């Protein structure tokens, strides 16, 4: 019972500090949002279209662009605002359909479309899409012009007939088939990759920096007063262990549930995801306890905790994806697996990307559990020494 009280007090100390509420809970969610908005998921390139006064044929061309796959069309009132948004990166490209486009083409005169874009590969692909839509419309116009010239139909009737034949007639279809193994991160939603990497980063970072609380307990004489009561050392050790673990679990649950509700993150099989969170939190808590039992100065422990927490996260794949690391630096990928972060990421990717369950991640859980057992044994031994000397 006393151990549980010690653990609850550790969690309360975390929640009592307003700064902790931001850095422990709000900051991870903000980073998930930023990473997801900047890099996550696949977003169709945005193409602005100006078609004021372009007539029926201009509207048909705009509709054809609306129906084209792989682009998102946005209507603009004037050319200047469209060009400005392309310059600012709001749009990837823009198309200006001139006023009088319909009358010009029906009169048999050429009409010029304006295409605006930045010099990059995406712009070239968008230009091809726009050109394809214009070319298809041009083919119907040539057919209607030919029928009018031969005197068989009026231009309007011939154009209408050509459009009907084009819709009813056979068309060229392209069948796509994926071969090989797809790049795992490409199959994730917008926020998934940032969610599990930030989860592991912040759980470990908070545990490392939270080691200062153990040192403050000794400096303030709290540990000495507990030992002066009929409280065995093992009870204090269990209480501190549960406290560190409770802090990690509270933070982890807030990030997981919050990202699922706010950003729609799919964490895969709930049992498997919970098992990863529990085992990783045990390892993080044990590491924080070990640091808190080694250092005598809370400023030193807090500063070094930030450096080690961020450094291990970076090495373990929380900043550079392990799949990218494996392709471009196999040696670094192997070194990354000395950290628990790498094994946690591998486990989450098995669950989230490949749809694995609890049985599929047992090897990863075993390694994380082994790491947690080692650091907890070292931490409890070292903390016992520090408490009895206090």
Strand runs (DSSP E) across the chain, as ranges?
Answer: 46-50, 72-76, 93-96, 114-117
Domain ranges (residues) in the chain: 2-40+190-389, 46-168
Output phi, psi for 114, to 5 deg.
-105, 130
82, 94 in Cβ contact below 8 A?
yes
Per-residue pLDDT, 135: 86
Cβ(215)–Cβ(382) below 8 Å: no
Whole-prediction pTM: 0.68
User: Which residue has tokens 């486990």?
Assistant: 347
Is the backbone of residue 213 left (phi > 0), alpha (psi -120 to 50) or beta?
alpha
Report the Cα 170 to chain-centroid distance in Å: 42
Please state, in angstroms and rounded to a whole number, the distance separating the CA atoms of residues 368 and 346: 11
Q: What does DSSP say about strands 114-117 and 93-96: parallel, antiparallel, or unpaired? A: antiparallel
3-class SS at 220?
Answer: coil
- pLDDT of 159 reads 67
List Cβ neighbours of 111 (8 Å cut-off, separation of 6 or more).
Answer: 98, 100, 101, 104, 105
Residues in the chain: 390
Instruction: Give residue for tokens 């004489």.
Output: 221
Q: What is the structure's pLDDT at 356?
A: 93
Q: How far apart are CA 291 and CA 215, in angstroms?
A: 9
Q: How far is CA 320 from CA 116, 126, 338, in A?
A: 35, 30, 16
Q: How far is CA 286 from the centre of its chain?
A: 28
> Between the CA atoms of 188, 203, 246 and 255, what dihedral angle is there, to the nearest 10 degrees?
-40
- Written as tens digits, the pLDDT of the chain (390 aa) is 677 877 787 777 767 777 777 888 888 888 888 877 666 555 678 899 999 998 888 898 898 898 888 788 999 999 999 999 998 888 889 999 999 998 888 877 888 899 999 887 778 888 888 988 888 888 777 777 767 677 677 766 766 666 666 555 555 554 555 555 554 555 566 677 789 999 999 999 999 888 877 777 777 777 677 767 777 888 888 888 888 899 999 999 999 999 999 888 899 999 999 999 999 999 999 999 999 888 878 787 878 888 999 999 999 999 888 888 988 899 999 999 999 999 999 999 999 988 999 999 999 999 999 999 999 999 999 988 887 775
Instruction: For residue 259, give the nearest of 94, 32, 65, 40 by alpha carbon.
Output: 32
For position 118, what pLDDT does the model report?
83
**pLDDT number for residue 186:** 54
Which CATH number among 3.40.1710, 2.40.420, 2.60.120, 1.10.760 corresponds to the domain 46-168? Answer: 3.40.1710
């Amino acid at each position: 019972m006393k151990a549980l009280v010690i653990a609850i007090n550790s969690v309360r100390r975390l929640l009592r500090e307003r700064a902790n509420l931001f850095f422990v809970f709000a900051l991870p969610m903000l980073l998930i949002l930023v990473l997801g908005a900047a890099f996550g998921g696949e977003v169709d390139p945005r193409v602005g279209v100006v078609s004021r006064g372009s007539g029926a044929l201009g509207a048909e061309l705009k509709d054809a662009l609306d129906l084209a796959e792989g682009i998102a069309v946005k209507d603009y009132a004037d050319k200047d605002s469209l060009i400005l948004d392309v310059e600012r990166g709001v749009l990837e490209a823009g198309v200006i359909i001139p006023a009088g486009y319909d009358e010009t083409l029906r009169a048999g005169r050429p009409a010029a479309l304006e295409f605006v874009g930045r010099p990059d590969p995406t712009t070239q692909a968008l230009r091809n899409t726009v050109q394809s839509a214009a070319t298809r419309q041009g083919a119907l116009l040539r057919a209607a012009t030919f029928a009018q010239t031969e005197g068989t139909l009026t231009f309007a009737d011939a154009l209408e007939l050509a459009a009907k034949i084009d819709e009813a007639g056979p068309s060229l279809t392209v069948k796509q088939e994926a071969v090989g193994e797809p790049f795992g991160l490409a199959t994730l939603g917008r926020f998934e990759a940032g969610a599990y990497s930030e989860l592991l980063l912040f759980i470990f970072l908070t545990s490392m920096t939270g080691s200062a609380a153990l040192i403050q307990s000794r400096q303030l004489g709290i540990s000495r007063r507990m030992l002066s009561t009929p409280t065995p050392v093992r009870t204090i050790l269990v209480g501190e262990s549960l406290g560190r673990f409770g802090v990690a679990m509270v933070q982890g649950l807030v990030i997981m549930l919050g990202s699922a509700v706010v950003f729609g993150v799919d964490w895969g099989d709930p049992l498997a995801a919970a098992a990863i969170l529990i085992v990783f939190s045990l390892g993080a808590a044990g590491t924080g306890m070990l640091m808190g039992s080694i250092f005598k100065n809370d400023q030193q422990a807090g500063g070094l905790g930030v450096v080690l927490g961020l450094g291990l996260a970076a090495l373990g794949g929380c900043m550079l994806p392990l799949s990218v690391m494996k392709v471009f630096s196999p040696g670094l990928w192997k070194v990354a697996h000395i950290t628990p972060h790498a094994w946690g990421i591998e486990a989450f990717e098995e669950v989230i990307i490949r749809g694995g369950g609890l049985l599929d991640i047992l090897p990863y859980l075993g390694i994380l559990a082994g790491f947690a057992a080692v650091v907890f044994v070292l931490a409890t031994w070292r903390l016992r020494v520090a408490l009895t000397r206090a």
